[in-house]
A and B are shown apart, each in its own frame.
Chain A
């Protein structure tokens, strides 16, 4: 099973102290894009701590997801600067354009949508991140343009397969 394999590899490289829990969960998320249930159970066993403790830490911090991430994760900044220059409209535009809820995943697994509180690019607000790329000074219409371009790229790529 894939999760079990990845987890074994991660755990081998990690300390097994109680203090390593967050670092381990971060590694798990980096590997799978989210925290699969199976992996959380495995981590609890590895650290010899109650499963509920792993779950409570996993759900306390905003960084952790317990649902899968899209192949192109979208994060819309909802920090102060971005809010003041229309971040809300940008977020709504993404939701409308992709028909996806906040924290959700599109049906083709391509995009997931989250909000973040400031990515430190306030000077170019409102900002949106797709994958690793930061898109500056977004507007609802620019969202449509950006997403249309990406969607057609995906279509092209799929055709090639």
Chain B
């Protein structure tokens, strides 16, 4: 079959599903949807359609990025609005079937909004302000097409980039990528076209293309969503790369913690092969390309490019010095291009729509869009894709909806363990590679975590360092031991045992670790500590000088206390829930915590009915009334 035939078949299948006589029910069943109960919703729809004798198709789609509102359902009805419903439970399904599938009531009280955006375009819900700010390129199909059906991708414009590329001379494909100004989305922002050129110029054969889907940043999930929701855009990018470089073998290195993404990639590979987009003599062009999955076995350092190649070779993933760069000598010492999932996913669009179209978006030196995983203390958590140059404030407030419960934003963490924490005063910083480095953080992978007044900056720095310290491969002494020293110092500060000189010592160690580490794991490891000291020094000083944790997080410096005037005598919620049995009722029926038994698990605070709100946290511990202050238990163990 020619591409035109494949496409016209796909389009007619698509039309009958999305514009047919029968309503189409889209249900998001990516990992986040499943965690919120999407599979039960699928079951409930099947059941209700049968029970009410209604006819409709059910299409399982990926993630629309609105994770806070999962499970998400979109109903597409002939000659009517496409309506998106959030937080759907099996209980409301019968009403949706009766109201909108059978009747004409779109059940707007359950709806997030009406969906716009035709075939091949980004989904768009005009009612939500976030869509005004967003510009969805990579996420354009996510939550709209069935990732397990290649025809959906083809019908919405997929694989046209590959077809176009195959008709171009290889050098021209690389030229186009260079002209687009695309920079790698794996963290460092290296110009993709240049990397490709080096690899193409290398005289050694064979060459390899690797897709880096390790996504090790513990707070990032963009790559997972893309692979679960629209895997073909990544495969198409790899194919175009393979063609341009003269490679015939590709690898996708994906973390084993992403079972659904692995499953969907497997299906995508099989379908692409069946239609002749993958394998030998692709679409009759004479170009051969094969892709294998390599499952990561869970080590953060495996995401580093030279380490990743070691892992594919079956070894311990320990980085090696560069040069030689992988583009000259990579996998099995052969020239290898390694790119992030998102970098590759841009390629079909760039080839299809042209470098000028792409470079018209973004800033002077950072072109295109940025995809962020918004998590932490935000009203609307999920994924967002915005033009480069959008400010943090727009991302957090217009798209993320700000901090819940009216609390104050304290910091935003960007770039994961190699990034850092920025204070509220820097929220007008535009997100692009260079502006972020100027303020001491990094674009990194695109994880963005918002923190409020209840998060402690010392604890946050300790958390990242603990992560890095565990994940250091151990090759460089300063990375292995220097981070351990920094961690010990931070733990001391968090426990109220810090000295004021420790802050300078942390700076000193940070410099040494940066100098003495081979790869960016070590070189950037001190960033979370440095930025928190730079922007939140007062919190460090409160821990050290006053033994006080302002956010009431550090256990050794906080205590739980039941306010006698608020405690209701008849209520025993806290007593029943306290597993170490640290709470007793005194002669007046007022509950009292035995500090020597308290493990500071916080269950009493959680269980105390909101009309009393009698349980509070105190820091420093010396604020406890003298009667209770007797020998608080050394917590932590």
- What residues make up the interface of A, taking CB atoms closer than 8 Å to B? 17-23, 25-26, 56-57, 60-64, 78-81, 83-86, 89, 92-93, 96-97, 116-125, 127, 134-136, 139-141, 144
Contacts of A123 in B (CB 8 A): 32, 67-68, 70, 221, 373-375, 381-382
| Chain B contact residues: helix, strand, loop or mixed | mixed
Give every chain A residue within 8 A of B473 (Cβ-Cβ).
60
Q: How far is the CB of B128 from chain A (nearest CB, A)?
A: 16
With A140-B603, A141-B577 known to touch, is A21 a contact of B36 (CB < 8 Å)? no
Q: Tell which of B294, B316, B599 touches A92, judged by Cβ atoms closer than 8 Å.
A: B599
Which 8 residue pairs across A and B have the least CB separation, nearest first? A80-B219, A123-B67, A61-B297, A79-B218, A122-B375, A62-B298, A123-B381, A134-B35
**Dominant SS among interface residues on chain A:** helix
Q: Which residues of B contact A19 (CB under 8 A)?
A: 312-314
Q: What are 27 sample pairs from A and B whose C-beta atoms fall under 8 A apart?
A: A18-B313, A19-B313, A20-B314, A21-B314, A25-B297, A26-B256, A57-B316, A61-B298, A61-B302, A62-B297, A63-B256, A64-B297, A84-B376, A84-B449, A84-B455, A85-B377, A89-B601, A119-B31, A120-B221, A120-B257, A123-B32, A123-B67, A123-B373, A123-B374, A124-B381, A136-B35, A141-B577
Q: What distance in Å separates the Cβ of B232 from its nearest Cβ neighbour in chain A?
A: 20
User: In the complex, what residue of chain B is closest to A56 when comparing beta carbons?
Assistant: B316
- How far is A123 from B219 in the complex, measured between Cα atoms in Å? 9
Given A84-B460, A121-B31, do A60 and B317 touch, yes or no (CB 8 Å)? Answer: yes
A122 touching B373, Cβ below 8 Å:
yes
| CB–CB A122/B297 < 8 A | no
Interface flags, B278-310, vs A, CB<8A=1, else 0: 000000000000000011111110100000000
Give the distance in Å from the alpha carbon of A81 to the alpha carbon of B316 in the complex: 28
- Distance (Å) between the CB of B70 and the closest chain A CB? 8
Q: Is the CB of B221 within 8 A of A121?
A: yes
* Apart from A84-B449, A118-B217, A123-B221: 6 A-B pairs, beta carbons within 8 A: A19-B314, A61-B298, A61-B299, A84-B455, A119-B31, A141-B607
Per-position binary interface string of chain B over residues 579-599, scored 1 when its CB falls under 8 Å from any chain A CB and 0 otherwise: 100000000000000000001
- Chain B residues lying within 8 Å of A62, measured Cβ to Cβ, are 297-299
Chain B residues positioned under 8 Å from A144 (CB to CB): 577, 579, 603
Whether a CB of chain A sits under 8 angstroms from the CB of B428 is no
Residues of A near B258 (CB, < 8 A) are 120
A86 with B377: CB separation less than 8 A: no
Interface residues on B, range: 35 or more
CB within 8 Å of A: which B193-242 residues: 215-221, 224-225
Measured CB to CB, the closest approach of chain B to A106, in angstroms, equals: 17
User: Does chain A have a CB within 8 A of B447?
Assistant: yes
Given A57-B315, A89-B602, A118-B220, verify A124-B67 contact (CB < 8 Å): yes
Contact at A84–B377, with CB atoms within 8 Å? yes
> Whole-angstrom distance between the alpha carbons of A106 and B67 in the complex?
34
Please report the C-alpha to C-alpha distance between residue A17 and residue B332 in the assembled complex, in whole angstroms. 13
Q: In the complex the two chains form, is A122's CB within 8 Å of B298's CB? A: no
Which B42-82 residues sit within 8 Å CB-CB of chain A?
67-68, 70
Please pick, from B215, B297, B413, the residue contacting A22 in the complex, using a CB distance under 8 A. Answer: B297
CB closest chain-A residue, reference B318? A60
Instruction: Answer whether residue B489 sits at the interface, using C-beta atoms and an 8 A cutoff.
Output: no
One of B31, B316, B381, B464 near A60 (C-beta < 8 A) = B316
Determine the residue in chain B with the shortest Cβ distance to A125: B375
Contacting residue for B35 out of A18, A83, A127, A139, CB 8 A: A127
Q: A121 and B32 in contact (CB under 8 A), knowing A19-B314, A57-B316, A79-B218?
A: yes
Smallest CB separation, B260 vs chain A (Å): 9
B553: min CB distance to chain A, Å = 9
Q: Is B463 an interface residue (CB 8 A)?
A: yes
A140 / chain B contacts, CB cutoff of 8 Å: 601-603, 606
Q: Known contacts A96-B579, A117-B300, A118-B220; is A124 also within 8 Å of B35 by CB?
A: yes
Asked whether B219 lies within 8 Å of A79 as measured between CB atoms, the reply is yes
B451 within 8 A of A: yes
Known: A26-B295, A62-B297, A84-B449. A57 touches B314 (CB 8 A): yes
